[in-house]
Amino acid sequence: MKLMENLKVQLEERSYDIIIAAGVLKKVNEVLADFAAARRCLIVTDSNVQPLYESTLKLGLAEIGAETADYVYPAGEEHKTPETVVDICRKGVRSGLDRKSLIVALGGGVCGDMAGFAAAMYMRGIGFIQIPTTLLSMVDSSVGGKTGTDLPEGKNLIGAFWQPQIVVIDPETLKTLPAEEVCCGLAEVVKYGMILDEEFFSLLEKNIDKLKSLDMGFYTKIIRRCCELKAEVVSKDEREGGLRAILNYGHTFGHALELLSNFEVAHGKAVSMGMAIAAELAADTGRISKELAERQNALLKKLDLPVKAPAGFDAEEVYNAMMQDKKTLGKIIRVVLPDAIGKVSIVKGLEKDIVTKAIRKCCE
């Protein structure tokens, strides 16, 4: 395998490795031998990913003596429900999973969130492995142990912190993604530059062509950097007691837009719009210049990401939806706002009129 990148999430006894290499899925028997050999594994995947990669994963697990069963659910955020998570657990029972068995998430963020939540609950917690197949899940949701599912009232309102035993990332899987899915993942990539690393942000600005052409060498490096940045934050604040909340940049606004669209607005696009609103709000309150806000938005637009909400969104409704978000405490909204490229702050107690003004500008 070429361009293998390894790093570790440091969490004492819960520490784990992230392995990133083009083609690693075909060598899964080697990287998972210490975790899955001679164990029973339940592969959780969706109807889009299953025909593409499940047979390769099953073959690799069989080579190390693992017994496998699978749970395949219909692709789509609308299936990220408590009922699906319970079904995963019930399939585990029928498949003979015991406390030494594993749940293996093969797919995007929805898959990883639900499979991890099922693993956290099943027999009061069994091991699980993340094998993300979308850019968004590679750079964000597969790392850090946040698991959960949606409720009709909002995204990810029930869940658990449950760290994987290992994360295995094969950038080659991006080649089978629709272009729009890769585009959505790039919103999270831009987020890391905005919140933590100006040099990384500048690297993205200078390599639009490589990003759009799916240059595997470049993608391996940017995935590694995003995972590295997230691992540093998670190692300092595993359960979002403070610092980790900066990873929610763009998400408080974005989750509200997703909810109001009945999840017709994709998560990555909602986060992009949310970052645009956050930058607008930061400029309106004098935290950053209008030029800096435009620099962020210019990069998003070059990557074909939206900075304006589609017609039909009302600023008051977006604000009210934000009040249901789990990041709101005591009816006081907390938002992550930029102070510079590569530096953000968690801000709370902003007046409703100031927040809705920024939302309204991005909904015109």
- Check pLDDT > 80 for residue 359: yes
The predicted pLDDT at position 187 comes to: 97
- 130 within 8 A of 112, measured Cβ to Cβ: yes
Share of the chain above pLDDT 90, in %: 88
CA pair distance 108, 130, nearest whole angstrom: 10
Identify the active-site residue in 58, 221, 244, 287.
244
- Which residue is it, tokens 């995204």? 155
Predicted confidence at residue 326, as pLDDT, reads 60
- In this structure, what token pair is assigned to residue 289? 């210049």
* pLDDT, averaged across the chain: 94
Q: Do residues 54 and 111 make contact, with C-beta atoms less than 8 angstroms apart? A: no
Where helices occur in the chain by DSSP H, the ranges are 28-31, 33-36, 55-63, 82-94, 109-121, 135-136, 179-196, 198-206, 208-212, 216-236, 251-260, 267-284, 290-302, 315-322, 352-361
Is pLDDT above 80 for 327?
A: no
**Known active-site residue 99:** no
C-beta of residue 275 within 8 angstroms of C-beta of residue 191: yes
Query: Alpha-carbon distance 153 to 95, whole Å?
Result: 32
| Per-residue CA distances from 207 to 71, 192, 299 (Å) | 39, 16, 11
Residues 170 and 113: their CA atoms lie apart, in Å, by: 19
Which of 146, 191, 221, 360 is catalytic? The answer is 146
Least confident of 98-112, 139-153, 181-195, 328-342: 328-342
**pLDDT of 137 over the 60 cut:** yes
Please determine, for residue 329, whether its predicted confidence score (pLDDT) is greater than 70.
no
Long-range contacts of 213-219, Cβ-Cβ distance < 8 Å, separation of 24 or more: 214/174, 214/175, 214/182, 216/3, 216/22, 216/171, 216/172, 217/3, 219/135, 219/171, 219/174
Contacts of 307 (CB under 8 A, 6+ apart): 272, 273, 276, 297, 300, 301, 362
Rounded to whole angstroms, the Cα distance separating 241 from 311 reads 36
Check if 267 is active-site. Answer: yes
148-179 pLDDT tens trace: 999 998 889 999 999 999 999 999 999 999 99
Whether 248 is catalytic is yes
- Annotated active-site residue 79? The verdict is no
Q: Which amino acid, 209?
A: D
Catalytically annotated residue among 188, 228, 238, 280: 188
- The DSSP H or E segment spanning 131 is strand 127-132
Give the per-residue pLDDT at 269: 96
- pLDDT higher than 80, residue 330: no
Q: Give the model's confidence band at 2: pLDDT under 50 very low, under 70 low, under 90 confident, else very high.
A: low
Q: Is the per-residue pLDDT at 313 higher than 60? A: yes
Told to judge if 100 belongs to the known catalytic residues of this protein, a careful annotator would answer no
Question: Is 294 in the active site?
Answer: no
- Per residue in 190-243, pLDDT (tens digit) is 999 999 999 999 999 999 999 999 999 999 999 999 999 999 999 999 988 889
The backbone region for 144, taken as left when phi is positive above 0, alpha when psi lies in -120 to 50, beta otherwise, is left
Per-residue model confidence (pLDDT) at position 208: 97
Is residue 363 predicted with pLDDT exceeding 90? Answer: no
Give the separation between CA 116 and CA 123, rounded to whole angstroms.
Answer: 13
Active-site annotation holder among 255, 269, 287, 360: 255
Query: In 3-state terms, what secondary structure has residue 340?
Result: strand
Does the predicted TM-score (pTM) go above 0.85? yes
**Structural domains in the chain, sorted by start:** 5-175 (3.40.50.1970), 179-361 (1.20.1090.10)
pLDDT of amino acid 115: 98
Annotated active-site residue 180? The verdict is no
